[in-house]
Amino acid sequence: MKFKKIVIANWKMNPNSLSEAEEIFKGIKKRVNKFKNLKVVICSPFVYINNLKQLNKKEIISLGAQDCFNQEKGAWTSMISASMIKSVGASFVILGHSEKRLIGEDDKQINQKIKLAFKNKLKVVLCIGEKERDEEGVYFSFLENQILSALSGINRKFIKNILIVYEPIWAVGKSSRRVISDKELQEISIFIKRVLMDKFGEKDFNLIKILYGGSVSHKNVEDLIQNGGVDGFLVGRDSLDSRKFNKILDVVDKN
Q: How many whole angstroms separate alpha carbon 126 and alpha carbon 149?
A: 12
* Candidates 72, 167, 184, 218; catalytic one: 167
The pair phi, psi for residue 18, each rounded to 5°, is -60, -40
209 backbone φψ class: left, alpha, beta (φ>0; ψ -120 to 50): beta
* Active site (annotated) includes residue 167: yes
**C-alpha distances in Å from residue 108, one per residue of 64, 113, 148:** 22, 9, 11
Rg from Cα positions in the chain: 17
Cβ contact 152:112 at 8 Å:
no
- ∠ CA 202-207-209, nearest 5°, is 120
* Residue 233: closest CA among 138, 139, 125: 125
**CA pair distance 185, 162, nearest whole angstrom:** 19
Question: Is-contact 115 154, C-beta < 8 A?
Answer: yes
Of the residues 97, 105, 130, 218, only one is catalytic, namely: 97
* Secondary structure (H, E, C), 115-169: HHHHHCCCEEEEEECCCCCCCCCHHHHHHHHHHHHHCCCCCHHHHHHEEEEECCH
User: Catalytic residue at 97?
Assistant: yes
Instruction: Write the burial class of residue 135 (CB in 10 Å: 0-12 exposed, 13-18 middle, 19+ buried).
Output: exposed
Catalytic residues: 97, 167
